[in-house]
Amino acid sequence: MMDDYKEVGLVESSSAFSIEFSVNMLAERLSRREVEAQANLIEKLEGVQVAFNALPHVIMVLNRQRQIIFTNSALLALLGDVDMEMVLGVRPGEVLRCIHAQNETGGCGTTESCRTCGAFFALMNGLEGKLDCRDCRISVRAGDSVRALDVRVLASPFEVEGQKFLIVTMTDISHEKRRKMLERIFFHDVMNTASGLQGLLELGRDVEDLEEAKHLFVALESVASGLVDEIAEQRDLIAAENDELKVNPAYIRSRELLDGLVRQFAANDQYGRWSVRLDGRSENVTFLSSPVLLRRVLKNMLKNAVEASPPGAVITAGCRKTGDWVEFWVNNPVPMSREVQLQVFNRSFSTKGEGRGFGTYSMKLLTERYLNGRIYFTVSAETGTTFVAAYPLDNKEWKNEEFAG
C-alpha cells in the first residue's frame, strides 16, 4: 500500500515534514457493508474479544483505509456513551475528536497538520508491513474546550484470510511527559536559579560597603522572586490542566503591565544578548482579567521570542485597543518555519529538546480556557513572527465577583 502512496509523492523525509500526498487517495474509505464484512472476519477469530478487553490500553483493528473495524472496551469506555456500531468505519483521529480531523472533507490523515502526526506515520509504516511505534501529541475536543493528549502509538500489521489489517495500540503517556517536564524544571531550571542565589549569598560574606550591600540585596531579591515564580508557574499549569485553577480578576492597565515585563527582561540581560523594546504607540487600556495569569502568558510570549531570536536581535512588544478587546503582541525578526507552525501550541512540542514545549501550550491553555481570550500568530518573511493574545475588556461572568480594583 505504501508503494501506491509513493507514486503520488507521499514520502517521509528524514525530518518527517517534507511530505506531499494525494488527499483523494488518503481520503478513500470502504463502504459500510464492506467494513461490516471485515468486522465479522475479526470477530470470528477465537478469543480475540476476550484478549483485547483484558488489556488496559486502547486497542483498535484498522483496515487498509485506516478505518476502525474492531476495538476493545477501553476505547468505548474512554469515549463514554458510545458503542461499537458508532465507531465502525471511523478513523482514529475522528473517533478521538482530534481538532484537525474535520479540517478537510477527507478527515483524519488528509489535513496539513497530519504531516506532523506521529500516529499517522506509525499507521502508514504499519500498512507497509513494518512494526512501528511513535509518540504523538493530539489536541482533542472535550465539550467546549480543547484537551492535550500525549500517546504512544504502536502499529502492528497482520493478515486474515488474505486481507491485511493493523492492530493499533494507544497508550497514554501524558504522565510520563509531565514527569520529564517537572524533572527538567526542578533539576535544571530551578537548580540553576538556586545556584545563582547561593552564589550571591557567598558574595555577601565579604561585602563591607553599604552601597554594594544594597545592590547585592536587590539582586538577591530578584533571584529569589524568580525562583518562587518559576515554581508557582508550574503549580498553576498543573492546576489548569486539572480544571482546579482559580481566577482572581482585577482591573489591569495594559501598557503598565507590559512595560514592567519588558523592563524585567531588559534587567535580566546582563550580557546584551537581546534587546526587548516596548512599542511607543502602545495604549494603556483598562480591562478586567487575572493579573497573575496574564503576566504568565505575556512572560512566556517574551521568553519564546527571545529564545527564537539570534544574538543582538530586537524583540518588540506592544498593546492596543481593538473594538471591545485589548490585544498584546510580541514580535521577533525570525519567521517561524511551517513545520513548527503546525505544532507550536501542542503540549510537549519544542524545538529546544526533550522535556520542553510547555511555554506556548500554557499560553494557549491559560488564555482560552481561563481568561476567555484568544491567541494566534502571524508569520512573514519581511516582519518575522508575531504572537498576538487578545482579551475582552469586560469579562461579564466576573462582574458580580469581588475583585481588587
**For residue 395, what is its C-alpha cell?**
469579562
pLDDT at 398: 65
Q: How many CB atoms lie within 10 A of CB 150?
A: 19
pLDDT at 1: 42
pLDDT at 166: 95
Question: Do 168 and 184 fall into the same domain?
Answer: no
Strand residue runs (E) in 127-193: 132-142, 145-160, 163-172
Last residue of a domain, one of 118, 140, 172: 172
pLDDT at 289: 93
CA 304 to chain centre: 14
Question: Do 92 and 146 fall into the same domain?
Answer: yes
**For residue 136, what is its C-alpha cell?**
504523538
Last residue of a domain, one of 121, 146, 172: 172
Give pLDDT tens digits for 335-391.
998 888 887 877 655 555 444 446 788 888 889 888 999 999 999 999 999 999 999
Number of structural domains (the chain) is 3
Spans of the chain below 50 pLDDT: 1-21, 271, 353-357, 402-405
Question: Do 117 and 7 fall into the same domain?
Answer: yes
The C-alpha angle 321, 325, 330, rounded to 5 degrees, equals: 65
d(CA 29, CA 8): 18
Give pLDDT tens digits for 323-335.
999 999 999 999 9
Question: Do 254 and 399 fall into the same domain?
Answer: yes
Question: Do 224 and 262 fall into the same domain?
Answer: no
Question: Do 38 and 147 fall into the same domain?
Answer: yes
Question: Do 35 and 155 fall into the same domain?
Answer: yes
Domain of 268: which CATH number? Answer: 3.30.565.10
Query: 378 and 387 in contact (C-beta within 8 Å)?
Result: no
Last residue of a domain, one of 122, 157, 172: 172
pLDDT at 399: 55
Question: Do 19 and 115 fall into the same domain?
Answer: yes
Strand residue runs (E) in 218-352: 250-253, 275-278, 286-289, 314-322, 325-332
d(CA 192, CA 392): 37
Q: Which domain holds residue 78?
A: 2-172
Question: Do 197 and 254 fall into the same domain?
Answer: no
Give pLDDT tens digits for 92-138.
999 998 988 877 778 898 888 888 888 999 999 999 999 999 988 88
